[in-house]
């Protein structure tokens, strides 16, 4: 089994290399829209044509924010002062995925500094100092008018506001442009016990990443707990919809442990189903990442697209009456993120994809403007690029 897995890995690398060489011109399709953002993880388009970008911040307390980026690349602040902290692997963690529904923006808040690294590889323990914010591992709803979107110079959340949100109070912020209201719609458990042989006191943290709303239900991927949550927006109650199991690590024992975690990342809704990308965990081998199709009524899980590497987002689209799927890959090959990030288009989930763009460096989210055909991709280092596609017919949840 080990030998055959290595042969499969080598074949996958060769196939990927050939595909990249054959589509080298794709890199010319990327146009830089803006640079200098602070660890952007999520993006959403408003009905005014602006891009809303969540920024995890620098790790300094209160450095997370939501920015408004117009089609010309001009940035303004919608909401500043959101929590940010260094997580258990010493990366900034704060605002993550966003989803716009009408005039409400749903924001997933990452794990922050709820936990710190434990004494053995892959272990965690509660932060002995306590988290620096009470609203890590949660989802916020921010409501604001079109007038505020077009004119605001920004609102700022305070630590007192964060505590009010944690207490499930609605926070209203005002300035010359108008006001925004913020409320907590889901406050997931910061962590649950998860004993390991090397560390019986190990915990597994909640790390909301991306989200999508379908009518009165919000679905949230949790890369820490390896599951997807269903949140009832009317009652603000939540429960796990589906848990994603570990799979064998094809590189073990040469590299990494015997199993890979699922690490669900991107999520979209299409044709009464949910689409979820499974990023997979360290050492991030080539060809083990997938996009899953989830039945939201039963939690049933069926593979849709397989053989990917570090898939971090998925987006269905309709062109000429046919459905295709855009898949965003954090890197081209493994282990540990080799090669550029990619946008792939699958006209048939079971067939090889077309490479739309190979100009990306550690992309984190993508948003399609269906009217103009521009695909916006955020990158971890702070850049947003625009990639031209043919205008698509809207795909609604």
The whole-number pLDDT of residue 318 equals 83
Task: Tell how strand 75-82 and strand 64-69 pair up.
Answer: antiparallel
For residue 78, count other CB atoms closer than 10 A to its CB.
22
Question: What is the DSSP secondary structure assignment for residue 196, as one 8-state letter?
Answer: B
Rg over alpha carbons for the chain, rounded to the nearest Å, is 20
C-alpha 69: how far from chain center: 19
Answer whether residue 282 shows pLDDT above 90. Answer: yes
Answer whether residue 49 shows pLDDT above 80. Answer: yes
Q: Band of the pLDDT at 394, cuts 50, 70, 90?
A: low
Tokens of 345: 């288009």
Q: Band of the pLDDT at 319, cuts 50, 70, 90?
A: confident
Q: Band of the pLDDT at 320, cuts 50, 70, 90?
A: confident
Mean local confidence (pLDDT), 351-356: 95
Q: Are 245 and 280 a contacting pair, CB within 8 Å? A: no
pLDDT greater at residue 352 or residue 22: 352
Tokens of 217: 């239900």
Mean local confidence (pLDDT), 243-259: 96
The whole-number pLDDT of residue 281 equals 94
The whole-number pLDDT of residue 82 equals 98
Answer whether residue 308 shows pLDDT above 90. Answer: yes
- The reported pTM is 0.91
In percent, the amount of the chain with pLDDT more than 70 equals 91
Give dist(CA 200, CA 190) in Å, integer. Answer: 18
Contact partners, residue 177, CB within 8 Å, separation at least 6: 147, 148, 151, 152, 153
Q: What are residue 293's DSSP bridge partners? A: 275, 302
E-strand stretches of 118-236: 124-126, 138-144, 155-156, 171-175, 178-187, 191-193, 203-205, 208-214, 217-222, 227-232
Q: Are 14 and 68 a contacting pair, CB within 8 Å? A: no
Q: Are 308 and 327 a contacting pair, CB within 8 Å? A: yes
Element containing residue 222 per DSSP (H, E): strand 217-222
The whole-number pLDDT of residue 27 equals 46
Give dist(CA 354, CA 357) in Å, integer. Answer: 9
Cis peptide before 283 (omega within 30 of 0): yes
- What is the dihedral sign for C-alpha 58, 137, 244, 324? negative
Mean local confidence (pLDDT), 9-18: 35
Q: Mind listing the pLDDT tens digit for each residue in 71-115?
A: 999 999 999 999 999 999 999 999 999 999 999 999 999 999 999
Domain ranges in the chain are 1-23+244-361+389-397, 45-222
- How does 233-267 read in b/e, with b if 16+ C-beta sit within 10 Å? beebebeebbebeeeebbbbeeebbeebbbbbbbb
The whole-number pLDDT of residue 395 equals 57
């Amino acid at each position: 089994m080990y030998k055959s897995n290595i042969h499969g890995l080598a074949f996958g690398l060769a196939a990927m290399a050939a595909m990249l060489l054959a589509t080298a011109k794709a890199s010319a399709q990327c146009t830089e829209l803006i640079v200098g953002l602070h660890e952007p993880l999520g993006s959403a388009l408003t009905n005014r044509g602006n891009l809303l970008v969540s920024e995890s911040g620098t790790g300094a307390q209160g450095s997370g924010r939501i920015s408004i980026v117009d089609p010309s690349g001009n940035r303004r602040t919608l909401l500043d002062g959101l929590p940010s902290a260094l997580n258990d692997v010493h990366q900034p963690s704060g605002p993550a995925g966003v989803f716009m529904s009408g005039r409400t923006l749903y924001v997933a808040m990452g794990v922050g500094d709820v936990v710190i690294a434990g004494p053995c590889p892959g272990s965690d323990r509660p932060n002995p100092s306590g988290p620096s914010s009470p609203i890590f591992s949660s989802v916020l709803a921010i409501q604001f008018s079109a007038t505020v979107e077009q004119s605001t110079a920004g609102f700022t959340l305070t630590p007192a506001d964060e505590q009010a949100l944690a207490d499930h109070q609605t926070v209203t912020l005002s300035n010359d442009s108008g006001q925004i209201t913020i409320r907590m719609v889901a406050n997931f458990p910061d962590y649950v016990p998860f004993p390991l042989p090397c560390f019986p006191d190990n915990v597994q943290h909640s790390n909301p990443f991306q989200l999508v709303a379908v009518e009165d239900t919000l679905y949230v991927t949790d890369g820490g707990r390896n599951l997807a949550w269903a949140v009832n927006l009317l009652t603000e109650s939540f429960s796990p919809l589906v848990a994603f199991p570990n799979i064998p690590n094809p590189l073990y024992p040469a590299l990494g442990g015997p199993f890979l975690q699922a690490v669900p990342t991107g999520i979209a809704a299409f044709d009464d189903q949910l689409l979820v990308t499974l990023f997979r965990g360290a050492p991030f081998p080539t060809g083990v990442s997938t996009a899953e199709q989830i039945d939201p009524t039963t939690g049933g899980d069926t593979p849709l697209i397989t053989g990917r590497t570090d898939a971090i987002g998925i987006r269905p689209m309709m062109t000429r009456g046919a459905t295709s799927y855009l898949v965003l890959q954090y890197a081209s090959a493994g282990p540990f993120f080799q090669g550029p990030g990619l946008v792939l288009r699958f006209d048939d989930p079971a067939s090889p994809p077309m490479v739309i763009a190979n100009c990306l460096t550690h992309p984190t989210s993508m948003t399609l403007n269906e009217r103009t055909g521009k695909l916006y991709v955020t990158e971890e280092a702070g850049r947003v690029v625009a990639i031209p596609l043919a205008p698509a017919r809207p795909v609604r949840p």
